[in-house]
Structure 1
Amino acid sequence: MIEESKQTEQTENINANVAEENNNSARMSANLETELNSDVATTDGNSVRETNWAADAAQWEEMEAEIAALEQQVAQLKTQLEERTSQYMRIAADFDNFRKRSQKEKEELDQQVKCNTLSSLLPVVDNFERAQAQIKPQTDAERNIHKSYQSIYKQMVTALKSLGVSAMRPKGQEFNPNLHEAAIQEPTNEYPEGTVIDELIPGYFLGERVLRHAVVKVAAPFEHMVPSEESRSESPES
C-alpha cells in the first residue's frame, strides 16, 4: 500500500510538472505571438507612413508643377500686356499726329480759300482808290456821287480789316523780296540805296501771311546808273 501511495504521488508530481511545462509553453507561445503581432503592426505602421510620405511628395511635386505653369502663364500675360500697351501707345501717337496734321491741313486750306477770295476783291479796292485820286467833283451832284463811292469804299475796307487784312505801307522801308516786287529803280539822294520810295500797287497782309506783294519803286544811287544813249546824245560833248 505504501508503495502504491508513493507511486501515485510520483505520478501526480510528474503530471504536475507536465502541466506546468505545458503552461510555460503556452505562455511562451502567447508572448511570441504577441511580439510577432507587435512587429507586424509596427511594420504595417511604417509602411503606411512611408506610403503617406510618398503621396505627400507626389502632391508637392504636382503642386510645384502647377505653380510653375501658372508663373509661366503670368509671365506670358505680362509680355502680352506690355506688347498691347506699346501697340496702343503707338496707335494713339499716330492718331494724334494724324489729327494734328489733318487740322493743320484744314486750316491751311481754309486760309488758302480765304486768301483767294480776298485777293479777288483787292482790285475793286484799287479801283476805288484810283477813282478817289482822279475824280475832282465840281457840282453838288458830283460831290454826292463821290460821297456815295467813298462810303462804299470805307464799308469794304472795314469788312477787310475785320477779316484780318491790313495794308503793308512799305514806303521808307528797306526793300524785301519776300514782301515787295521791284518795278522801277530810281536814282535819288533822298533815300539810301535799296529803300522803297513809292508804292505803285498796294500790298496787303492777311494776319502774318502775305496776301499780295506790293509793287514798289526802289531807290538807286546816281553813281551806279549808266547814262542812256539819249542822255549821252543830249550832253554838251555831243
Structure 2
Amino acid sequence: MSEENQGRETEPSANSDAAMDVERSESDANDEAVNLGLEQQSLEVESSTDAESLDPTEVATPSVETSIDAEADSEALTRLATEVESLRLQVEERTGQCVRIAADFDNFRKRTEREKSELELRVKRDAIGELLPVIDSFELARTQLKPQTEQEVNIHKSYQGVYKQLVDCLKRIGVSPMRVEGQPFDPNFHDAIMRESTADHPEGTVIEELRRGYLLGDIVLRHAMVKVAAPLENTEPVSETSISEVSSEAS
C-alpha cells in the first residue's frame, strides 16, 4: 500500500478512539445524573413515608408518658410511706420488748439480791443458834461454880476468857442479848413458862429471866424464857357469920 493510503487508514482509527472516549464520558455523566436522581427520589420517598407514618396519637405521647410517670411516682411514694410505717411499728415493738426485758431483768436482779440476803441471814441465824447453848453453858458455869483454890481460880479465869472472846465475836456480827427483867411481857420476844402471883410488880411484867434471849439486829434469834407476874389471889377465910347471913338471905 502507498503511504497515502496508510495515512488515510490511520486517521479514521484515531477519530474513532476519540469518539469512543467522548461517548464513555457522556455515559458516565448520564449514570451520575441518574444516580443523583435516584438518591433524591429515595430521600423524598423516605421523608414522605416518615410523614405518613406519623400518627396523631403519637404526637400526644409525651403527655401520656408524663401522666404515667406521675402515677408511678405516686405509687412509689405510697409504697415507701407504707414501708416507713411498717418499720416504725417494728421499732416501737422492739423498743417495747427491750423495755420489758430490762424491767424483767431488774426485777430478777432485785429478787436474786433479796433471796441472797435472806439465805445469808438464814445461814447466819442457824450458825449462831448452834453457838447459843455453848454461851448458856459458860454463863451457867460462871454462876454456879465457886473456885476455892488458886488453881481453880486460874481455870475459872481461863474459860471465862474464852467466853468473853466468844461474846465479843458475836457482838461484832450484830448479836446482842435481850434485857427483859422489868419489861412488859411481849410474846414477840418472850416465852412465858411460869407465872407468879406478886404485889411487887404489875400484872404481866417480866420478873425473872430463866434463859437469855438474843437478837440479830432487829431479828429474834431466840426468845427469852421468863417468869411473868400475876395478880394476887383472894385467899381470905370466910367467917361463919357471913355464911349464916348468906344462907338466911337465900331462904
Q: TM-score range by the shorter chain?
A: 0.7 to 0.9
CA distance in 1, matches of 2:195, 2:84: 81
- What amino acid is the match of 2:149? T
CA distance in 2, matches of 1:204, 1:108: 19
TM-score using structure 1 length: 0.73
CA distance in 2, matches of 1:110, 1:201: 26
Map of 1:124 onto structure 2: 134
CA distance in 1, matches of 2:119, 2:74: 66
Within-5 A mapping of 1:146-225: 146-223=156-233
Between 200-209 and 51-60, report the one with greater CA deviation.
51-60
Within-5 A mapping of 1:10-21: none
**3-state secondary structure, aligned to 2:209:** strand
Runs of 4+ in 1 over 6 A off after TM superposition: 43-46
Does residue 120 of structure 2 align to residue 136 of structure 1? Answer: no
- What amino acid is the match of 1:195? T
**3-state secondary structure, aligned to 2:200:** coil
Does residue 105 of structure 2 align to residue 95 of structure 1? Answer: yes
TM-score using structure 2 length: 0.69
CA distance in 1, matches of 2:174, 2:165: 15
Gaps of 5+ in 1: 1-39
CA distance in 2, matches of 1:45, 1:208: 102
CA distance in 2, matches of 1:80, 1:196: 70
- What amino acid is the match of 1:209? I
- The structural deviation recorded for 1:47 is 5.6
* Higher Rg of the two aligned structures: 2
Q: Deviations over 1:205-233 (max 9, x none)?
A: 1111111111111111114x8x7xxxx9x
- The structural deviation recorded for 1:156 is 0.4
Q: Deviations over 1:53-99 (max 9, x none)?
A: 21111111101111111111111111111111111211211121111
CA distance in 2, matches of 1:156, 1:188: 37
Within-5 A mapping of 1:60-79: 60-79=70-89
Gaps of 5+ in 2: 1-50, 240-251
- What amino acid is the match of 1:139? T
- The structural deviation recorded for 1:197 is 1.2
- The structural deviation recorded for 1:46 is 9.4
- The structural deviation recorded for 1:44 is 8.1
CA distance in 1, matches of 2:84, 2:203: 79
Q: Deviations over 1:147-206 (max 9, x none)?
A: 101101100000111111001111111111111100111112222211111111100011
Q: Deviations over 1:82-125 (max 9, x none)?
A: 11111121121112111111111111111111101100000000
- What amino acid is the match of 1:187? S
Q: Deviations over 1:16-67 (max 9, x none)?
A: xxxxxxxxxxxxxxxxxxxxxxxx9xx989964x322211111111011111
Does residue 57 of structure 2 align to residue 86 of structure 1? Answer: no
Map of 2:116 onto structure 1: 106
CA distance in 1, matches of 2:207, 2:56: 122
